[in-house]
Structure 1
Amino acid sequence: MHAVMHGFLLALQFLSRLPVPVECPWNADTSRWAVRCYPLVGLLLGGIVALAGVLLQETLPTPMMALLLLSVWVVLSGGLHLDGWMDVADAVGSNAPLEKRWAIMKDPHVGSFGILALVFLLLWKGALLLALLDAGIGLAWLPLVVALARLGAVALLVLAPAARSEGLAWAWKQYLGQRDLLWSLVPLLIGFLLWPGWPWLLVALAPFLIGYGLWARRAFNGINGDIVGAAIEGGELWLLLNVWLWYSFATG
């Protein structure tokens, strides 16, 4: 039980900026449970964002509400995955050989491709949030989007090869197996209680992960921490689009 709790707190420390005033040990058991808890942390973060929207829905115009939700979303994660998104965009946009792309990804400075990728990502997320809010749709789907994107990160860590025998993704992978991916699905069973479109989102996530995993293997010979972080951001955008498609078809 201590390993489960410490694993959850490690995941919370790594995936969010929520304060965790406890020093948690890093070992095989706690790191494994940390990865298993990625979707659970996603449910928590998405729930906080949705709660902010519910509490303030009567006080703000819809465009400001969409911007508020997006802002809270970014702040809760501390921009961690956005950093990976920009690093990967700079590396890919350079069209450089593989070793040069790795050097660009490790560079702490952000280039023009990274800035453009960030701007378009946030614009698309904001536009989809605005469209969903403008349609008068509730926010029960939001925790599932955030959680499923982190389930995608678990799937990549378990199933995709590490590009190099170093770095954060490689360290996480040392203790992971397919059973850990199955464990990470357990918190998402609450999705059946939150939103009827949950199975559709789970199915929609699959082609994104397959395509992204194949692309990462071709472009970088596998994954690293930045590539997994970029997958979370891209997965959230992809799932937001699918929520919008779901309601567009459901309402005719």
Structure 2
Amino acid sequence: MREAGYGLLLAVQFLSRLPVPVECPWTAATSRWALRCYPLVGLLLGAILAGVSLVLHERVPTPLLALVLLSLWVALSGGLHLDGLMDVADALGSNAPLARRWAIMKDPQVGSFAILALLFLLAWKAMLLWALLEGGTHPALLLAVPALGRFGAVLLLGLAPCARREGLAWTWRQHLGHRDLLFSLVPLLLLFHWLPGWPWLLAALLVFLLLYGLAMTRAFKGINGDIVGAAIEGGELWLLLIAWSWWSFAMG
């Protein structure tokens, strides 16, 4: 169980800016457990968001609460996945040959397509949070979206081909098996018990990952760490949109 504990702490260190005052060894076992704990870290981040929402929902206007939650959402992850989104947007927006797209993705400079992608993603997330909060959506949704987004990252790492035998995605992939994908789903089972409409969210996530994985494989011949990070951001936005659509239909 020590490997499992270290794995959880590694996942927290990698996926968030939450302090972990422990030096965790990187081994095949701890890496495998870290991947299994990706959705659990998402649940932790979601629990913080849900707690803040419950405390503030009667104290601040809904638009301001949506902005507070989005700001906290970004701060908790340290913008790690947004950075991947921006790199992928610049590479795709260049419409350049494959080798040039890879060079653009690695370039630390930020281009216009990255800025546009960032602005529109944050704007859409803010508006969807506002609409869901105003509609009185189930509090468990704020737990589900970050957790499912990170479960999607594990699925993508496990099932999509890596473009290159280097980088973060390749490093994580070395110790990931199909059984680990099932283990990573376990933390979500109890959540699904309380969240109405969860089959729609899970099905929507699988559809998104299929289309996204195919598109990235076609554009880049596989995935890397930036592409996985962008999948988390895009998956969360897609899940918020599906949740709003389902909640509006159900309430209507």
Offset of residue 204 of structure 1: 1.1
* Aligned partners of 1:141 and 1:194 also within 8 Å: no
Give the stretch that moved more between structures: 49-58 or 226-235: 49-58
* Aligned partners of 2:94 and 2:101 also within 8 Å: yes
Offset of residue 174 of structure 1: 0.6
Which residue is equivalent to 2:120?
Answer: 120
* Aligned partners of 1:11 and 1:34 also within 8 Å: yes
Which residue is equivalent to 2:197?
Answer: 197
Which residue is equivalent to 2:136?
Answer: 136
Q: Within 1, Cα distance between the matches of 2:120 and 2:243?
A: 19
Correspondence 1:92-241 to 2 at 5 A = 92-241=92-241
Q: Within 2, Cα distance between the matches of 1:192 and 1:221?
A: 34
Offset of residue 139 of structure 1: 2.2
Q: Secondary structure at the match of 1:130?
A: helix
2:8 aligned partner, one-letter code: F
Q: Within 2, Cα distance between the matches of 1:137 and 1:215?
A: 32
Percent identity of the aligned residues? 70
Q: Within 1, Cα distance between the matches of 2:196 and 2:131?
A: 19
* Aligned partners of 1:90 and 1:114 also within 8 Å: yes
Which residue is equivalent to 2:31?
Answer: 31
Q: Within 1, Cα distance between the matches of 2:136 and 2:147?
A: 22
Offset of residue 190 of structure 1: 1.6
TM-score (ref. length: structure 2): 0.98
Q: Within 2, Cα distance between the matches of 1:119 and 1:105?
A: 18
* Aligned partners of 2:138 and 2:195 also within 8 Å: no
Aligned length: 252
Offset of residue 248 of structure 1: 1.0
Q: Secondary structure at the match of 1:89?
A: helix
Q: Within 2, Cα distance between the matches of 1:38 and 1:152?
A: 9
Q: Secondary structure at the match of 1:59?
A: coil
* Aligned partners of 2:91 and 2:101 also within 8 Å: yes
Give the stretch that moved more between structures: 20-29 or 49-58: 49-58
Deviations 1:88-140 (A, max 9, x none): 00000000111111111011111100000000000000010011111122422
Q: Within 1, Cα distance between the matches of 2:192 and 2:169?
A: 31
Offset of residue 194 of structure 1: 2.9
TM-score (ref. length: structure 1): 0.98
Q: Within 1, Cα distance between the matches of 2:192 and 2:81?
A: 27
* Aligned partners of 1:162 and 1:222 also within 8 Å: yes
Deviations 1:148-182 (A, max 9, x none): 01010000110011100100000000111111100
Q: Within 2, Cα distance between the matches of 1:139 and 1:164?
A: 40
Q: Within 2, Cα distance between the matches of 1:172 and 1:157?
A: 8
Offset of residue 203 of structure 1: 1.1
- 2:111 pairs with 1:86: no
RMSD of equivalent CA atoms:
0.8
2:84 aligned partner, one-letter code: G
Which residue is equivalent to 1:52?
Answer: 52
Q: Secondary structure at the match of 1:20?
A: coil
* Aligned partners of 2:128 and 2:241 also within 8 Å: yes
